[in-house]
Each structure stands twice: as C-alpha cells, then as structure tokens.
C-alpha cells in the first residue's frame, strides 16, 4: 500500500502567526503519527515562515515513523540541517528564494552534474534521496542518471486537470512511473493531492510508494477533525 507522509508546514504557519507554541508542533506531529500517518514531512525555507530550522531536530528526536525533509539543496544551511538531522529521506526541490510554494521539478538534464554531487553527499550519510520532478520521461531518465533512490512526481497539473474533469491527465504520470520502475527508481508524489483526486491517482500510477500531503489535509481537518482526516486520506490509498 502507498504510504502517507503528512506535511506539517501549515501547522507551523498557524503557530508562527501568534508567536508562542500553540499549536504545539511536536505534539501535533506525534498525534498525526498516532492517528495513522506513515511519516512526517517538513519543508524549511530560509525565511522560516512555517517550519523553523530548530524545529527539525526536535521532531527527529521523537517521531517514530519516517521523517522526510524537503528543500533546496543549493542552500548551505539546508544541507547542513539534513546532514546533522539524518532523516529517513531528503527530497530535493528547486525552490527559488521567497517562493510561496513549489511549482516545478528539477531539470535533471541541465543540472545533472550538480545533482550527482548532492545526491552523493546525502547517500554517503546514509539518507535515502528523492528528486522532485515533472512527469516527463526525459526528466525521469535524468534523475536516474544522478544516482537518486527515488523521484517525487510533481502533481499540481494532474490535480488542476482532474478538478476540470480531465481524468486523462493522469496518463503522463502513469508513463513516468513505468519509466521510473524500468530504471529501478522508487516513486513518490505530491502537491495538491486531496480527498477528491488521490484515490484515482494511486490506482492509475503503478509502483507508487509514498504521497506527501499537507495543505489540503490540514484544510480538511478544519471540517472533519485531524484524526478523522488522516484516516480518510489513508483509506484513499488502500
């Protein structure tokens, strides 16, 4: 079964909006685990508008599922954080400074040499690696050439097209997944997956190991409650 990693950035955003520690980020992460999530994802950014760098070691000390740290490896502080924390997985995302949210994958062909170096840094530290990519065969092939363990398929276009009634939008993801499997890459996915589109995506994309979901899940929790929402998302993956 595909595993669910819950991105808790939005919990940190809520906490930061008033200062103090309400909601308690660490407690919420532990509760999300207890409610059935298979992992916790964080995506620290230089402005620390949600997850703060100091949050990450605190989380690593206590969570018992997999910790996935996403971020831009061109930032020295991010690289240092990952190497010191040693999460189960690091996902390399090509965010620009000040970017509101991730909106594209790596060009794994253009940046091949750089990604080879960075993947080696993290793998030598015993950390599973994943590269955020668009669902293009060329980008999947480029990712395989870097030595990464996995790719994470960027799913915003699928989510947008699915909402417009175009289920065929999943086909490029299916093709990318077949190519990834052929190249012995593990397959993750994330961005704008939600209770409406997740089940179909998981059914149509072979070999899907993990989805990382944050914004939609936390929004749903406002209506359904956090425990129930985690369970609702888990059911979509069965």
- Strand ranges (E), 60-168: 66-71, 89-92, 128-133, 150-154
124 vs 83: CA distance, rounded Å? 10
Contact 237/1 with Cβ under 8 angstroms? yes
- Whether 43 sits among the annotated catalytic residues: the reply is yes
Catalytic residue among 33, 152, 191, 210: 191
**Active-site choice (33, 50, 70, 210):** 70
> Is there a contact between 183 and 150 (Cβ–Cβ < 8 Å)?
no
Q: How many helices (H) and strands (E) are present in the chain, helices listed first?
A: 11, 8
Q: Among all chains, which residue has been given the structure tokens 């060329």? A: 138
* Residue 49: φ, ψ to 5°: -75, -15
CA dist 204 → 162, 169, 171, 230 (Å): 13, 11, 8, 22
The partner residues of 187 in beta bridges, in order of sequence, read 151, 208
* 178 belongs to the catalytic site: no
Q: Does residue 191 carry a catalytic annotation? A: yes
Q: What is the DSSP letter of 44?
A: -
Reduced to 3 states (helix: H, G, I; strand: E, B; else coil), residue 232 is: helix
Residue among 33, 43, 50, 152 flagged as catalytic: 43
Q: Would you please indicate which residues are annotated as catalytic (active-site) residues?
A: 43, 70, 191
């Amino acid at each position: 079964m595909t595993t669910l990693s819950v991105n808790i950035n939005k919990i940190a955003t809520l906490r930061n909006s008033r200062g103090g520690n309400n909601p308690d980020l660490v407690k919420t992460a532990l509760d999300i685990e207890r409610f059935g999530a298979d992992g916790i994802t964080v995506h620290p950014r230089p402005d620390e508008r949600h997850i703060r760098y100091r949050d990450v070691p605190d989380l690593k000390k206590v969570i018992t599922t997999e910790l996935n740290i996403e971020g831009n490896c061109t930032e020295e502080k991010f690289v240092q954080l990952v190497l010191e924390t040693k999460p189960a997985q690091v996902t390399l995302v090509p965010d620009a400074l000040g970017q509101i949210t991730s909106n594209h994958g790596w060009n794994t062909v253009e940046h091949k040499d750089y990604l080879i170096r960075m993947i080696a840094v993290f793998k030598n530290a015993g950390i599973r690696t994943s590269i955020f990519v668009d669902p293009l065969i060329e980008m999947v092939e480029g990712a395989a050439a870097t030595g990464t363990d996995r790719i994470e398929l960027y799913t915003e276009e699928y989510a947008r097209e699915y909402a417009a009634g175009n289920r065929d939008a999943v086909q490029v993801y299916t093709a990318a997944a077949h190519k990834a499997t052929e190249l012995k890459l593990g397959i993750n996915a994330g961005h704008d997956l939600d209770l409406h589109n997740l089940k179909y995506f998981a059914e149509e994309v072979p070999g899907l190991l993990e989805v990382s979901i944050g914004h939609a899940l936390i929004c749903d929790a406002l209506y359904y409650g956090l425990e129930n929402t985690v369970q609702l998302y888990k059911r979509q993956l069965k």
